């Protein structure tokens, strides 16, 4: 089974996300760890990237400065 087989494609907005391609998880842009959609709390609207934790989100944001 391909690791991206059940990965969702999302569009990230300031107050939530919209499912473009259904799936069970997204891959954290900073760590590559799968994040179940029901546990997804952190993302970047500007970069359109999901993150597994607040720490990884902050780290990625600081890299963009």
Domain for residue 1, yes or no?
Answer: no
Q: What pLDDT sits at residue 4?
A: 58
pLDDT tens, residue by residue, 2-52: 555 799 999 999 999 999 999 999 999 999 999 999 999 999 999 999 999
d(CA 17, CA 62): 22
Number of domains in the chain: 1
Q: Provide the pLDDT confidence category of residue 64 given band limits of 50, 70 and 90.
A: confident
* CB contact set of 11 (below 8 Å; sequence gap of 6+): 17, 18, 20, 48
Domain for residue 3, yes or no?
Answer: no
Domain for residue 48, yes or no?
Answer: yes
**pTM tops 0.85, yes or no:** yes
Q: What pLDDT sits at residue 2?
A: 53
């Amino acid at each position: 089974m391909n690791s991206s087989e059940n990965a969702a494609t999302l569009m990230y907005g300031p107050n939530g996300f919209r499912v473009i391609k259904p799936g069970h998880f997204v891959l954290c842009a900073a760590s590559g760890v799968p994040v179940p959609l029901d546990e997804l709390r952190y993302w970047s609207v500007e970069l359109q990237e999901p993150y597994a934790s607040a720490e990884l989100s902050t780290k990625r944001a600081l890299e963009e400065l």
